A and B are shown apart, each in its own frame.
Chain A
Amino acid sequence: MSVIVRDETGQILLLCKGADSIIFDRLSKNGRMYEEATTKQLNEYGEAGLRTLALAYQKLQEAEYSAWNEEFSKAKTSIGGDREAMLEQVSDMMERDLILVGATAVEDKLQKGVPQCIDKLAQAGLKIWVLTGDKMETAINIRFSCSLLRQGMKQICITATNEATLGQDPEKSVKENILMQITNASQMVKLEKDPHAAFALIIDGKTLTFALEDDMKHQFLNLAVDCASVICCRVSPKQKALVTRLVKEGTGKTTLAIGDGANDVGMIQEADIGVGISGCEGMQAVMASDFAIAQFRFLERLLVVHGHWCYKRIAQMICYFFNKNIAFGLTIFYFEAFAAFSGQSVYVDWYMLLFNVVLTSLPMISLGVFEQDVDSESVYVDWYMLLFNVVLTSLPVISLGVFEQDVDSEVYLQFPALYQQGPKNLFFDWYRIFGWMGNGLYTSLIIFFLNIIIFYDQAFRAGGQTADMTAVGTVMFTCIIWAVNCQISLTMSHFTWIQHLFVWGSVTTWYVFLVFYGELSSALDENAFKILTEVLTPAPIYWIITLLVTIACNLPYLAHISFQRSFNPMDHHINQEIKYYRKDIEDRHMWKRERSKARQETKIGLTARVDAKIRIITSFKKSSTTGKTSRIDICGNKSGQRQDRKQRSG
């Protein structure tokens, strides 16, 4: 990047800054005086983890400048596809024969908590790649400090050989060379017998341009996926996006990209989930991302706690939506068999109309959309059905979807392996979905047939009155409301006042609604006048049926969860029990032990580094006691903290 200025004496200067490799290429012969010294200093800076820049200048003559300026203005004002190329060309003409001034280095410290965050994420089973625009030494050094790389890891460097040294068709031979490197490295990885061996793949931007081409990218991806950590240096923003796309499409797994600058925007948008860090680099990354956090370390909480909760909540909510709407909708279909398939609804007009209009807006807010295909003109013009999905059963579902916590957040942070329930898709597999749908079917059958058979044709009250369609429909609806709300309270495991309010409040709202609806005779449907107060409340059979049907509908689900919890529990069930019986407090030793076990086997991160050190020390001890000699690599920690000894003892 350059700027042309005129100083006070009238001398025109071209001042240029850029990456050292680029600048050194453009130096003139006499500008290379300090090249060696500068290179040495740059390496030192890089090893210290600083971000470096080289500076150079050139003095320009008037004539030279004005000639060039003409060209440059022409290029600037040109319209067309190759404007960029023209500008590039013209700038290139000027940026040569520079005189080296020196180098700068900027400390770009790692944020607080980054090594621990990476460690936790690795323990949760996530794979971490780094894509950066820094030079290789800087990138490597920073990764050492957060333990993405460590001593003892075999580093595989894929580099493009210098083109100028090759003969005809340099590009092809460079590509072949890179392909050979990749193949060799893949062989090496495959033949590795030591299960604890870890490989790190390091590749730079120039090489990446070749490696991402269609004929090579699959081999590259296969090699990269086998390595414990991948570091791409000197990557341009476009390449960041391409690499992300390659991983996303090649592996089919969910990818998350996190970045803080404008150069990360392409990558963030390409990944399945984009996270932007708001901060000193500006807000471009934040504006392009799905989630924005303030510091890198918050990613841990975002993923492990909120991501997991979100997954569980949405899965449960969707399954439950299927269940309750199947339970409700099928009763209407069954009734058709008894109404000569004329399309008459057993539920009162207005109930369903109100329910369904408001229905479609609240669930959208609560992240689950379940469309209700009800035409107000034709058949189901019923208030009950409208109220059903909006008020009477959606609020509990919203409380399930927004507030449900099966395990506390602290437990998630301490037991990263619980995170794997998400990637393994334990809560939204077909078995579970069909199970809930089957439950809905069963519920609908119970509700409909029990009601119909009990209300068959005889009187339903001491006064000898028989039930008309309104009464039967209202009783059936009451049963549905109770059954469905009891079902959700069995599903939820975290009851705050909000859940209680929504669930029991929905049931109460139904009764309140019936009272009010029964009072409004003229405006609305006449048949339901005083339906609750006069017709149903004094009839004991109404209350008895409600109790019977509610309990009968929840029987299978209750039995299922009882047996599953007791004889085939899932991890979070056990955690809940431990918390419930306060065993985490009584038996701290057990709690810590489980904490340390509850992680995926990782090859990167602080704990992996500690484990590797332990292995080396124990193998050293073993070999020294057996009298054998062996070469040991004593790894020295360049920077970064040691994990505390508590985890080692666990």
Chain B
Amino acid sequence: MEIDEVSTSSANAAEIPSVPVRRGRSKAIYQFTQQNLPACKPVLTPTWVITIFFAVGTIFIPIGLFSLQVSQSVLEIVDRYDAECVPPSFRSNKLAYIKDSSIPKNCSRYLKVNKDMKAPIYIYYQLDNYYQNHRRYVKSRSDKQLLYGLKYNDTSTCSPEDATNGLPIVPCGLIAWSLFNDTYSFFRGTDALKVNRKNIAWESDRNHKFGKHVYPFNFQNGSLIGGAHLDPTIPLSDQEDLIVWMRTAALPSFRKLYGRIEEDLHANDILEVKLLNNYNTYSFGGRKKLVLSTSSWLGGHNNFIGIAYISIGSFFIFIALVFMLLHVKNPRPYGDTTNLSWTWKGISS
């Protein structure tokens, strides 16, 4: 029986058990059931440790430096305008200002460009303290309705924004209802800068998520207006602002793409931004900012990734050095048996 030869340790270690010859599949099964599969058993020796730590460190630090440099090359202009764009008479009662649609919401801001910015320059609006990631908010949409429009009836997830005056709303839900509606136009001196508002949304969204034959219906007809109105003649797949807005952000402070400026901006240019301050962020203490930014292959301006890489890389190198020092000071020979616990007992007793 096959158990005999592998089970107990016989006193005579030189005895060679007779193993029946197995081939192929039965050999593999035998190895599996006897837990004798061919295996590699790597051992973490000091050489390996030092090599790994140094290698990681030397890879990470250059990546970090490179990322930092790339991030530094991205130029950004951020301008908070929600406080300034309220006329002085309404500063103490901003809510009244924003809710009154008869008051003109025009505002002019001046942005100074510090360094040359190469096209394309991306325009974002940034909202702070705006929880697009709130569970009720995220739930409040109907993806099927966005694709099929009025043909799709079950919009219960959108309530309370699923129907008004007895008629269904297309697109339903709080996310669509709260569509951002500030607008910006840019002037450099007297020239208007052309802002490209096409292709700001993900292509897959335009082609597959929003129906080409679905039109806004009964939208923002209720008593409470949440945000922008939608042109009912344009199908949803072309309403790029809506598409961008409906991609809910992860954090309470987020930016969304508004458009692109396809011209270079030069250092010391003064840009005049004529904006319409329509959107109500005053009732919940939100903030609105306008951001112009170039981009790199890593994206926008964020030094953190470079810093993180550099710090972790240096940490690795530090540990490698500490380890090397300790190892050189008291090296433990490989497989040294004096450390075995039964040897200590023998020595101490």
Contact surface of A with B, Cβ cutoff 8 Å: 113, 116-117, 120, 294, 297-298, 300-301, 335, 338-340, 342-344, 346, 379, 403, 405, 409-410, 413-414, 417, 450, 452-473, 493-498, 521-522, 526-527, 529-530, 534-535, 539-541, 544-545, 548, 551-552, 555, 558-559, 561-563, 565-567, 569, 571, 574, 576-581, 583, 590, 594, 597-599, 643-644, 646-647
Task: Please name the residue on chain A nearest to B147 by beta carbon.
Answer: A522
Task: Please name the residue on chain B nearest to A498 by beta carbon.
Answer: B37
User: Which of B8, B40, B205, B323 touches A495 (beta carbons < 8 Å)?
Assistant: B40
Report whether B8 and A339 are in contact in the complex, using a CB–CB cutoff of 8 Å: no
Contact surface of B with A, Cβ cutoff 8 Å: 3, 6-13, 35, 37-46, 49, 52-53, 56, 60, 63, 67, 76, 120, 122, 124, 126, 131-136, 138, 143, 146-147, 202-205, 208-209, 247-257, 260, 293, 295-302, 304-305, 308-309, 312, 315-316, 319, 323, 326-327, 330, 332, 334-337, 339-343, 346
User: Which of B13, B203, B312, B342 touches A551 (beta carbons < 8 Å)?
Assistant: B312
Across-interface contacts of B335 in A (CB, < 8 A)? 574, 577-578, 580-581, 583
Report whether A468 and B249 are in contact in the complex, using a CB–CB cutoff of 8 Å: yes
Report the bound CA distance from A294 to B3 in whole Å.
10
Report whether A342 and B319 are in contact in the complex, using a CB–CB cutoff of 8 Å: no
Across-interface contacts of A294 in B (CB, < 8 A)? 3
Rounded to whole Å, the gap between the CB of B174 and the closest CB of chain A is 13
Report whether B38 and A496 are in contact in the complex, using a CB–CB cutoff of 8 Å: yes
Report whether A462 and B297 are in contact in the complex, using a CB–CB cutoff of 8 Å: yes
Report whether A545 and B305 are in contact in the complex, using a CB–CB cutoff of 8 Å: yes
Across-interface contacts of B13 in A (CB, < 8 A)? 414, 646
Task: Please name the residue on chain A nearest to B49 by beta carbon.
Answer: A562
Rounded to whole Å, the gap between the CB of B30 and the closest CB of chain A is 14
Across-interface contacts of B147 in A (CB, < 8 A)? 522
Across-interface contacts of A555 in B (CB, < 8 A)? 312, 315-316, 319
Report the bound CA distance from A541 to B63 in whole Å.
12
Report whether B295 and A551 are in contact in the complex, using a CB–CB cutoff of 8 Å: no
User: Which of B134, B248, B254, B302 touches A342 (beta carbons < 8 Å)?
Assistant: B134
Report whether A340 and B8 are in contact in the complex, using a CB–CB cutoff of 8 Å: no
Report whether B44 and A565 are in contact in the complex, using a CB–CB cutoff of 8 Å: yes
Task: Please name the residue on chain B nearest to A554 by beta carbon.
Answer: B56
Majority DSSP secondary structure for residues of B touching A: mixed
Report the bound CA distance from A467 to B202 in whole Å.
11
Report whether B340 and A594 are in contact in the complex, using a CB–CB cutoff of 8 Å: yes
Task: Please name the residue on chain A nearest to B341 by beta carbon.
Answer: A571
Across-interface contacts of B67 in A (CB, < 8 A)? 544
Report whether B309 and A539 are in contact in the complex, using a CB–CB cutoff of 8 Å: no
Across-interface contacts of A409 in B (CB, < 8 A)? 6, 35
Report whether A598 and B340 are in contact in the complex, using a CB–CB cutoff of 8 Å: yes
Report whether B39 and A344 are in contact in the complex, using a CB–CB cutoff of 8 Å: no
Report whether A469 and B131 are in contact in the complex, using a CB–CB cutoff of 8 Å: no
Q: Would you list the 5 A-B pairs with minimal beta carbon distance, nearest first? A: A458-B300, A344-B135, A413-B9, A526-B143, A464-B122
Report the bound CA distance from A346 to B40 in whole Å.
39
Can you name 5 A-B pairs with beta carbons within 8 Å?
Answer: A338-B252, A342-B134, A452-B251, A464-B300, A540-B298
Rounded to whole Å, the gap between the CB of A121 and the closest CB of chain B is 11
Task: Please name the residue on chain B nearest to A409 by beta carbon.
Answer: B35
Given A459-B122, A529-B208, are A569 and B342 neighbors across the interface (CB < 8 Å)? no
Across-interface contacts of B203 in A (CB, < 8 A)? 534
Rounded to whole Å, the gap between the CB of B291 and the closest CB of chain A is 9
Task: Please name the residue on chain B nearest to A298 by beta carbon.
Answer: B7
Given A379-B135, A535-B202, A562-B44, are A544 and B305 neighbors across the interface (CB < 8 Å)? yes
Report the bound CA distance from A343 to B335 in whole Å.
54
User: Which of B122, B247, B308 touches A468 (beta carbons < 8 Å)?
Assistant: B247
